[in-house]
Chains A and B, each alone.
Chain A
Amino acid sequence: MPETTPTLADLAHEVRSKNAGPFWVTMELFLRDAAGYRIAADESFLDERVIARLYRVDAATVQIFRIPSLNVVKISFPRPISQGSLRDRDMHAGQHHVPLALLRVPAAGGGS
């Protein structure tokens, strides 16, 4: 058994985040292939509660779109810190994909 499983970034060719207007942030996992997509799209691994924990937001506000035709998982939620306010450290929310990207996939069915 390897010591650690791959991260979502390891399974993706791109992970990105961006404002969707001043009050929302949206992020996408572009998985390399269908196998990676199946892992990332698995609700028992990645669901609204996991996003809520990673980003300290209310799970009820998180929207997840699973798009098998593109091998994409897209996640949107209200910006916890409003754009441009004193505590906004990422004006375009362009670096907020990192906690998601560094999430390790589960060992069972994980690395292959």
Chain B
Amino acid sequence: MNDEPVERVRILTPSGMLGAGWDESTIERGLELGIDVITIDGGSTDSGPHYLGSATPKTTAKAVARDLRSLLRAAARADVPLIVGSCGTSGTDAGVDWVAGIAAEVMVEEGLDLTVARIYSEQNAADLKDSLDAGRVHPLPPLGELRAETLESCTHIVGMMGHEPIVEALRAGAQVVLAGRATDTAVAAAYPLMKGMPAGPTWHAAKIVECGGQATTNPRAGGVYAVVDADGFTIEPLDPGAACTPTVVAAHMLYETVNPFRMREPAGTLDVEHATYVALDHRTVRVEGSRFHQADQHTVKLEGARITGYETLSFTAVRDPIILADIDAWADLMCTLIRRRVDQTLRLADHEYAFDLRLYGHNGVLDDLEPESGPPREVGVMLLVNAPDQATATAVAKVANPLMLHLPTPAMGYLPSLAFASSPAEVERGAAYEFVLNHVVDTVTPSSMFRTRIGEPTSA
């Protein structure tokens, strides 16, 4: 790919996530305006550790195929690169191959012949242990120092790439880059940086476009169009009926960030403290003054998930006002009796399994942080059991079943029958995962932790 410097780079981001869908007019509008690159994020940790832990996608294949068809056709028509980050939700190697397989099928159906790069970001625990021993792994708050056992306990570990491996793939001739785990911003920053755009405006623009229409007055209206140049960037929504306003664009730096002014990337820190936001017209905003402070040490952040056990869920519901008036005492009694019966029947001590009893309609979401009180009209009772294996988790839920059906309050002199939502009441959830890594690795080179394959057929 030609990396001669240019005066500006025009970015089309049709949506915040591959598989979320958009109206084709979004793409047509972008093509009319003229584009240099199409970028889209394919994942996030936001939906929980299951997707990384199990290396499975959150999105369904048909939705990803639909979106890829739209983007591959547009990229071919405009002769511009398409960059997809965090393929398959968590960016595991299986996720990259899954998206690559779908892209290959779509290209055959569409008669397209684009050169595809796959960038793998999965890490193996043994290599990371070497880095750990060498003092090159550091914790990010709130986690502490990493232990080797934690690395070994993970089912999958990914490193979050910056723009560098993507730029290398583009320079090597890739027209479509399917990246494993990448920072949300690296996906949109790679091409402008390659073309010589300044780092401050580029990373800031990348942060604003990464959630698609989130940075507009109508987040449901689809994608955004950003133009980065030597002094800043402009941004507008692709839907003619939506608008970017200075307030909405500035406020987007608040979204899902701990600190709204400074954001760490592998190569350094984006600093928008002195950025200015000016309306060019009623729907286009000009942003200038964004800075990027290059870090002394390039770092790659790790994400890892491990199995915490296996879960079984049971769900019943209470409508009787007599029970609802005393629902906390009822729930306390439930917890006490579950522990007693599990001990009596399964001979399991309290530390050999765990459960959470949630009273939806009462304090199911906030638990002891719930600020309001008062009797609810009805309560959904979810029992979630976690045990070292599925059979034990289900056995605990089945021991609890008669209680979930008939438990009275301490003051009642008879057995009520409660409203199970389904039969059987127990649902096996399979393995449950948790995120355990929030650490960075001092890299040897920005691309040394990633592996790129260009133009080869997908092995999966």
Asked whether A23 lies within 8 Å of B432 as measured between CB atoms, the reply is no
B359-380 interface with A by 8 A CB criterion: 364-372
Asked whether A23 lies within 8 Å of B367 as measured between CB atoms, the reply is no
Give the contacting residue for B257; candidates A20, A95, A99; CB below 8 A. A20
Q: For residue B259, give the distance in angstroms from its CB to the closest CB of chain A.
A: 7
Asked whether A26 lies within 8 Å of B257 as measured between CB atoms, the reply is yes
CB nearest neighbor in A for B367: A89
Chain A residues with Cβ under 8 A from B45's Cβ?
19, 21-22, 83
Determine whether B384 belongs to the interface, using a CB cutoff of 8 Å to chain A. yes
- How far, in whole Å, are A19 and B257 apart by their CA atoms in the complex? 8
Interface string of B32-75 (1 = CB under 8 A from A): 00000000000001111110000000000000000000000000
Take A70-B251, A95-B365 as given contacts and tell me if A84 and B259 are in contact as well, using a CB distance cutoff of 8 Å: no
Determine whether B247 belongs to the interface, using a CB cutoff of 8 Å to chain A. yes
Take A18-B255, A19-B46 as given contacts and tell me if A102 and B371 are in contact as well, using a CB distance cutoff of 8 Å: yes
Determine whether A35 belongs to the interface, using a CB cutoff of 8 Å to chain B. no
CB nearest neighbor in A for B384: A86
Determine whether B260 belongs to the interface, using a CB cutoff of 8 Å to chain A. yes
Q: For residue B182, give the distance in angstroms from its CB to the closest CB of chain A.
A: 15
Take A82-B434, A86-B384 as given contacts and tell me if A91 and B369 are in contact as well, using a CB distance cutoff of 8 Å: no
Take A26-B258, A85-B434, A98-B371 as given contacts and tell me if A78 and B141 are in contact as well, using a CB distance cutoff of 8 Å: yes
Determine whether B142 belongs to the interface, using a CB cutoff of 8 Å to chain A. yes
Asked whether B47 lies within 8 Å of A61 as measured between CB atoms, the reply is no
CB nearest neighbor in B for A93: B46
Q: For residue B83, give the distance in angstroms from its CB to the closest CB of chain A.
A: 22
Chain A residues with Cβ under 8 A from B386's Cβ?
86
Take A76-B259, A86-B432 as given contacts and tell me if A98 and B366 are in contact as well, using a CB distance cutoff of 8 Å: yes
- How far, in whole Å, are A57 and B260 apart by their CA atoms in the complex? 21
Determine whether A54 belongs to the interface, using a CB cutoff of 8 Å to chain B. yes
Give the contacting residue for A84; candidates B48, B250, B260, B356; CB below 8 A. B48
Q: For residue A24, give the distance in angstroms from its CB to the closest CB of chain B.
A: 5
Asked whether A89 lies within 8 Å of B358 as measured between CB atoms, the reply is yes
Interface string of A66-102 (1 = CB under 8 A from B): 0101101010101000111111011110011011001
- How far, in whole Å, are A95 and B141 apart by their CA atoms in the complex? 23
Determine whether B114 belongs to the interface, using a CB cutoff of 8 Å to chain A. no
- How far, in whole Å, are A70 and B356 apart by their CA atoms in the complex? 40
Determine whether A45 belongs to the interface, using a CB cutoff of 8 Å to chain B. no
Asked whether B258 lies within 8 Å of A76 as measured between CB atoms, the reply is yes
Give the contacting residue for A83; candidates B48, B364, B365; CB below 8 A. B48
- How far, in whole Å, are A102 and B261 apart by their CA atoms in the complex? 27
Chain B residues with Cβ under 8 A from A96's Cβ?
366, 369
Take A22-B49, A67-B260, A86-B354 as given contacts and tell me if A102 and B372 are in contact as well, using a CB distance cutoff of 8 Å: yes
Asked whether B46 lies within 8 Å of A92 as measured between CB atoms, the reply is yes
Chain A residues with Cβ under 8 A from B259's Cβ?
63, 65, 76
- How far, in whole Å, are A21 and B184 apart by their CA atoms in the complex? 12
Q: For residue B369, give the distance in angstroms from its CB to the closest CB of chain A.
A: 5
Q: For residue A47, give the distance in angstroms from its CB to the closest CB of chain B.
A: 18
Determine whether A30 belongs to the interface, using a CB cutoff of 8 Å to chain B. yes
Chain A residues with Cβ under 8 A from B368's Cβ?
56
Asked whether A90 lies within 8 Å of B365 as measured between CB atoms, the reply is yes
- How far, in whole Å, are A99 and B368 apart by their CA atoms in the complex? 11
Chain B residues with Cβ under 8 A from A20's Cβ?
256-258
Chain B residues with Cβ under 8 A from A99's Cβ?
366, 369-371
Determine whether B452 belongs to the interface, using a CB cutoff of 8 Å to chain A. no
Q: For residue B384, give the distance in angstroms from its CB to the closest CB of chain A.
A: 6
Determine whether A28 belongs to the interface, using a CB cutoff of 8 Å to chain B. yes
Asked whether A84 lies within 8 Å of B435 as measured between CB atoms, the reply is yes
A24-61 interface with B by 8 A CB criterion: 24, 26, 28, 30, 54-56, 61
Asked whether A83 lies within 8 Å of B251 as measured between CB atoms, the reply is no
Determine whether B143 belongs to the interface, using a CB cutoff of 8 Å to chain A. yes
CB nearest neighbor in B for A26: B258
Q: A interface vs B, CB < 8 Å?
A: 18-24, 26, 28, 30, 54-56, 61, 63, 65, 67, 69-70, 72, 74, 76, 78, 82-87, 89-92, 95-96, 98-99, 102
Instruction: Name 23 interchain pairs, CB-CB below 8 A, sorted by A.
Output: A19-B45, A19-B256, A20-B258, A22-B303, A22-B438, A23-B143, A63-B259, A65-B260, A72-B251, A74-B260, A76-B259, A78-B141, A82-B434, A86-B311, A86-B354, A87-B356, A89-B358, A89-B365, A89-B366, A95-B366, A96-B369, A102-B371, A102-B372
Q: B interface vs A, CB < 8 Å?
A: 45-50, 141-143, 247, 250-251, 254-261, 303, 308, 311, 354-356, 358, 364-372, 384, 386, 432-435, 438
